[in-house]
């Protein structure tokens, strides 16, 4: 049975009680980098809160479950929660769950600082021993670590349902309902504040509100006509080398290193080819202060970089403007009847090819990126082009039809 609500709380306990809880609290405090005093005090403070059993059950069902961490393959990071974090420790007791219910209600409707101010004020007014009261900053640090779980606990859905009920009740009783100019404001609660990063082509991945999101194409390398800018969402936080990060930004400080393959080749363009079989795409990740920087790189079979730090955001911008030749009536590997003298094979590092002028007219030479059969090299080629360079991407169409699209549209780059 739940314990009765107390008027005050304190940390007085026998030595046996302290030893029995110390290990779990220390593990949780270490996992979340918060003060043990804050966890213990907030757990005891929970005894003073009048929370319904329904609210505690909601915490148990929606806030405490800890899914297995998932691996983000392209930057080799983990998304998930620690199984021994502060939320899990607080969920061990009824008092702790009552505190989590309060935290979820506050953090779903206001920021961490304002939530901490209100919690600390309540703790201060109900504490029997003011000497063992944690500082407001320590409470804020704890709530900051609880925020990802709390924002996904669906307390906002409950609040919105009550809000809808209240509006309907007021309407039925000829009372003016509250205005709707705050419209989940409510939507922004579940969103990620990365609009400026996206505008500046500086966003790769973000971790906020208990969710991690990134463009799916970074993992799949799928050539799709529809849904090519789809997003992957995972519940949890972003961890890289045991540290938490809220944002992954583009590292576009590109550089060509020793042994870079040449950008043009002497082979005549008469059939689809892959002249880059000895190269692969790798991601270089650098740690910063709360931020990771990630860039796409071209790596040789010897493990040495040939080109480094191409902005992955360029991939999204160019992919959105590209033409995809899905299919044609010919065999996908059909060669040309004769070599096309107005084409040249190029590498993924510099897919463009300049126009050339004859004595009578201007002919555009098409740069044909020789990466046939390798989706990851295709995407690297897209990212290496200038921002919004006109690109044609071959899917299951023959070379002749793809070149025809390039000539008809004036797009100077064909990626095999």
Distance separating alpha carbons of residues 262 and 346, to the nearest angstrom = 8
Q: What is the length of the chain?
A: 416
Q: Which of 153, 170, 188 corresponds to the end of one domain?
A: 153
Domain that holds residue 89: 15-67+82-153
Domain membership of residue 185 (yes or no) is no
The beta-strand segments (E) located in 157-218 are: 203-208, 211-215
* Same domain as 218, residue 148: no
Rg of the Cα trace of the chain?
A: 29
Distance separating alpha carbons of residues 96 and 51, to the nearest angstrom = 11
Distance separating alpha carbons of residues 284 and 65, to the nearest angstrom = 33
For residue 24 the two structure tokens come to 């779990």
Supply the pTM of this predicted model: 0.59
Domain membership of residue 179 (yes or no) is no
* Same domain as 347, residue 214: yes
Give the β-pairing of 237-240 and 243-245: antiparallel
Q: Give the DSSP per-residue string, 256-281.
A: E-TTPPPSB-SS-SSS--BS-TTEEE
* Same domain as 376, residue 241: yes
Domain membership of residue 6 (yes or no) is no
| Alpha-helix residue ranges (DSSP H) falling in 108-238 | 112-126, 136-151, 155-172, 195-199, 217-220
Distance separating alpha carbons of residues 364 and 146, to the nearest angstrom = 59
Structure-token match 């004020």, residue found: 121
* Same domain as 268, residue 125: no
* Same domain as 236, residue 136: no
Domain membership of residue 139 (yes or no) is yes
Distance separating alpha carbons of residues 308 and 298, to the nearest angstrom = 6
* Same domain as 134, residue 212: no
Domain membership of residue 187 (yes or no) is no
Number of domains in the chain: 2
Tens place of pLDDT per residue across the chain (416 aa): 445 677 776 776 544 454 455 677 777 777 777 888 888 889 989 998 888 888 888 888 888 888 888 888 888 888 888 888 888 889 989 999 999 999 988 887 788 998 999 899 898 888 888 777 888 999 999 999 898 888 777 776 666 666 666 666 666 766 555 443 332 633 344 466 767 776 777 888 888 877 888 888 888 887 776 666 677 878 888 888 888 888 888 887 655 554 444 555 778 888 998 888 888 888 888 887 778 988 888 887 777 777 777 788 888 778 878 888 888 999 998 989 898 888 888 888 777 655 444 444 444 678 898 889 888 888 888 887 666 678 899 988 999 999 998 888 888 889 98
Contact 412, 402 (CB under 8 A): no
**Within 10 Å of residue 180's Cβ, how many Cβ atoms?**
7
Give the β-pairing of 323-327 and 362-363: unpaired
H-helix or E-strand containing 314? helix 312-321
């Amino acid at each position: 049975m739940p314990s009765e609500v107390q008027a005050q709380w304190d940390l007085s306990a026998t030595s046996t009680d302290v030893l029995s809880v110390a290990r779990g609290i220390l593990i949780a405090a270490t996992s979340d980098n918060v003060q043990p005093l804050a966890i213990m005090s907030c757990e005891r403070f929970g005894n003073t809160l009048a929370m319904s059993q329904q609210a505690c059950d909601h915490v148990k069902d929606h806030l405490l479950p800890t899914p297995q961490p998932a691996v983000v393959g392209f930057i080799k990071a983990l998304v998930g929660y620690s199984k021994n974090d502060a939320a899990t420790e607080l969920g061990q007791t009824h008092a702790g769950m009552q505190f989590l219910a309060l935290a979820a209600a506050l953090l779903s409707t206001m920021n961490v600082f304002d939530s901490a101010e209100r919690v600390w004020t309540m703790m201060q007014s109900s504490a029997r021993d003011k000497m063992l009261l944690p500082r407001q900053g320590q409470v804020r640090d704890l709530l900051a670590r609880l925020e990802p779980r709390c924002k996904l606990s669906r307390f906002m859905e409950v609040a919105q349902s009550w809000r809808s009920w209240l509006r309907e009740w007021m309407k039925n009783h000829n009372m003016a309902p509250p205005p709707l100019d705050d419209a989940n404001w409510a939507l922004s609660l579940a969103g990620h504040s990365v609009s400026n990063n996206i505008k500046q082509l500086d966003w790769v991945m973000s971790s906020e509100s208990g969710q991690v999101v990134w463009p799916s194409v970074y993992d799949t390398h799928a050539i799709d006509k529809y849904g090519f800018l789809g997003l992957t969402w995972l519940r949890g936080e972003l961890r890289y080398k045991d540290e938490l990060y809220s944002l992954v930004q583009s590292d576009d400080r590109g550089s060509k290193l020793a042994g870079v393959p040449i950008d043009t080749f002497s082979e005549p363009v008469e059939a689809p080819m892959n002249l880059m079989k000895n190269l692969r795409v790798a991601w270089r990740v650098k740690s910063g202060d709360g931020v990771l920087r990630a860039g796409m790189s071209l790596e040789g079979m010897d493990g040495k970089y040939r080109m480094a730090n191409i902005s992955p955001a360029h991939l999204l911008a160019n992919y959105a403007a590209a033409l995809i030749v899905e299919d044609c009536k010919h065999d996908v590997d059909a060669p040309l009847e004769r070599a096309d003298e107005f084409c040249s094979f190029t590498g993924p590092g510099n897919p463009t090819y300049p126009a050339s002028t004859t004595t009578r007219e201007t002919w555009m030479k098409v740069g044909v990126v020789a990466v046939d059969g390798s989706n990851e090299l295709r995407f690297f080629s897209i990212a290496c082009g200038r921002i919004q360079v006109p690109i044609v991407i071959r899917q299951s169409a023959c070379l002749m039809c793809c070149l025809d699209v390039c000539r008809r549209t004036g797009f100077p780059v064909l990626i095999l």
